Amino acid sequence: MAEDITTIEIEDMITVGTLAERLSIPVSRLIGELMKNGVMATVNERIDFDTAEIIVEELQLGVQLSKSTVDASAPAVRVKAEASAGAPSRPPVVAVMGHVDHGKTSLLDAIRGAHVVDREAGGITQHISAYQVEHGDRKITFLDTPGHEAFAAIREHGALLTDIVIIVVAADDGIKPQTIEAIRFARKAGVKIIVAANKMDKDGADINRLYSELAEQDLMWDGWKGGDTPVLPVSAKTKQGIPELLDMVILVTDVEELKADTDVPARGLIIEAHVEQGRGPVAHALVEAGTLKPGDFVVAGSSYAKIRNLETTDGKPLKQALPSTPVAITGFKTLPEFGDEFQAVPNEKAARNQSTTSANEKNVGSRNNIGSSELIRLINRNNEVQELNVIVKADVQGSLTSVIDSIKALDTTEVAVRVVSSSVGAINENDLHLAQSAGAIIYGFNIELPSSARQQAARDKVDIRLYKVIYELIDDVKTGLSGLLRPEIVEHDLGRLVVRGIFNTTKTAVICGGEVTKGKLTAPALARVTRDKEVLGEVEITGLKRGPQEAKEVFEGEMCGLSFTTTKRIDLLEGDHIEVFTREAIQRTL
Ligand code: GDP
């Protein structure tokens, strides 16, 4: 009798405890099964869907898992706060996305250059994670996501920060894979999409073609009947169309009626963190609700601060920051993490307590997720997954997360990246020691190499690779991983000989003669000796003779003498066949 299968929906990540509960089995049984599969997980640890699926199948409970319809790559992690009825309006938060080289940076620069609220103060030395511009009497916040080609980090943490996504498409190039990825991301995040048809100044720009290509992605230009996607022609180079693009952002904002309370304790998200000489940890954050002021106590993950300086992200002091304002905060005791939520608390005691609780939770492993790649690796332990050891260093937490996420995504069942260590900041002595002892390559993203470290690395033969473009870094890791793949062995048949005479046979060598019946024979080459299709052994052809002359090649229809060496004795008979081939090891790529 066929067993009834029950389907249970689970999220992309689930704790061991919750999964056991959903399956109605004792948690110990689930932990036991995980262990059998080489996954050491405690009740509070989270496992991913793929791992859960494998384990549940092994348990044979008549249960199958399906992914919850709440898409986990959508921002399910955080829920946008509801504002109270009388809450004031807030500026929109806009992210700019699109295919590489389509002009995201140029567009963000153009908008910022022309409209930035304050340009003098501070001098921009650090990467700007977000900035606010004034357009008429309105403000707009732009997220300039670190390494903004890589959506990984913002996808996970920042999606709900964003109200509007501007998808930049070069009008002379049209929709490309990352454009589609950006559209998909914006859809999942449930945000409004505005398309900026960039590079309109170029000869090949064709906005009509773009309308059609967008329609293929279910984005109907609002100039068409029934369409609802604004497509604005712009040029980041000539600045043509930028005021109209910002007008559209304001228009969409007004339709969306974005509001946030200002009289609640301030809270928001850390969007970047780095250490600055003389200033200590500096966190960039986006205020989502409440009013943040210098002197406030804030907790972010396991770190807390009494805000020493509250500034715009380009260094202008702020007396207060209202919702949708990007700010730079100094005063944190330790470096908060990209994606940490921050919250204002009444006093230092509350700040200390809350940050300690958070640190403890972290230690019991609430963030200690076991990914499917980990499982794949464990399951394959007999098969020996080849690992590429790397140390990752980056300028800011956001890029670090992006780089790690992106390179971990390259893992396969055969090869995997092992991040031996990762941190924000310049490459230091510790990194070099670790790289040497772990045989790791150091990847630096957007960082400089101090000359002392360069010298030490040269002395210790540590491989350091610095990148400013994330894709180039990923490609390099990919090449490294490809190098670890076992090569593919390809055989090329050359020709065949039928044995007509045996001249000399020892245990390890044979000299014979025969007729080439197919193709050509060469020496040196490999060959199989066969009798009635049965393989007697694999041998190495060492020499060929046409008559008394040594020959490199003999062709179909010719008679020749042939000598080969063999590792096991072959008693060759007339009529046996010798099938000659070469074997090539082809390096595979990922
Ligand atoms: P990103 O990779 O999407 O950030 O693209 P960039 O902003 O770095 O731009 C890629 C290239 O396109 C650069 O060489 C820019 O100078 C050029 N570019 C960007 N916008 C325009 C534009 O509106 N017109 C022209 N002609 N070139 C542009």
111-157 tens-digit pLDDT: 987 544 443 333 333 355 788 999 999 999 998 764 433 344 454 44
- 301-305, 360-364, 499-503: least confident range: 360-364
Is the torsion defined by CA of 408, 410, 411, 415 positive or negative?
Answer: negative
∠ CA 64-65-67, nearest 5°, is 155
Q: Where residue 235 falls among pLDDT bands split at 50, 70, 90?
A: very high
Model pLDDT, residue 370: 35
Distance 441 CA to ligand 1 centre (A): 32
Residue 420 DSSP code: E
267-359 and 488-586 share one fold: yes
Read off the pLDDT of each residue in 285-297 and give the average, rounded to a whole number.
94
Q: Which of 209, 165, 207 is nearest to 186 (CA)?
A: 165
Model pLDDT, residue 16: 82
Please work out whether the CB of residue 103 comes within 6 Å of at least one atom of ligand 1: yes
Burial class (CB in 10 A: 0-12, 13-18, 19+), 540: middle
Model pLDDT, residue 343: 92
Distance 94 CA to ligand 1 centre (A): 19
Which CATH superfamily, name and number, covers 267-359?
A: Translation factors (2.40.30.10)
∠ CA 479-483-485, nearest 5°, is 120
Please work out whether the CB of residue 192 comes within 6 Å of at least one atom of ligand 1: no
Main-chain dihedrals φ then ψ at residue 531, nearest 5 degrees: -135, 120
Q: Which of 308, 303, 280 is nearest to 292 (CA)?
A: 308
For 488-586, give the CATH class: mainly beta
Which CATH superfamily, name and number, covers 375-484?
A: Translation initiation factor IF- 2, domain 3 (3.40.50.10050)
Please work out whether the CB of residue 50 comes within 6 Å of at least one atom of ligand 1: no
Sequence-separated contacts (24+) of 356-364 with Cβ below 8 Å: 356/302, 358/299, 358/301, 358/302, 359/301, 359/302, 362/301, 362/302, 364/42, 364/44
Domain borders along the chain are 6-67, 93-256, 267-359, 375-484, 488-586
Nearest residue (CA) to ligand 1, atom 14? 101
Instruction: Quote the CA–CA distance of 319 and 425 in Å, as a whole number.
Output: 30
Please work out whether the CB of residue 100 comes within 6 Å of at least one atom of ligand 1: yes
Read off the pLDDT of each residue in 355-382 and give the average, rounded to a whole number.
44
Sequence-separated contacts (24+) of 453-458 with Cβ below 8 Å: 453/426, 453/427, 453/428, 453/429, 456/429, 456/432, 457/427, 457/432
496, 519 in Cβ contact below 8 A?
yes
- Write out pLDDT tens, residues 481-530: 988 887 788 888 999 999 999 988 888 899 999 999 999 999 989 999 99
Nearest residue (CA) to ligand 1, atom 2? 101
Substitution candidate for ligand 1 out of 96, 99, 106 with most atoms within 8 A of CB: 106
Please work out whether the CB of residue 438 comes within 6 Å of at least one atom of ligand 1: no
Please work out whether the CB of residue 106 comes within 6 Å of at least one atom of ligand 1: yes
Distance 29 CA to ligand 1 centre (A): 56
Please work out whether the CB of residue 580 comes within 6 Å of at least one atom of ligand 1: no
Q: What percent of the chain has pLDDT over 70?
A: 86
Please work out whether the CB of residue 201 comes within 6 Å of at least one atom of ligand 1: yes
Residue with tokens 């790690």: 404
Rg (CA), the chain: 32
And the tokens for 149?
């080609």
For 93-256, give the CATH class: alpha beta
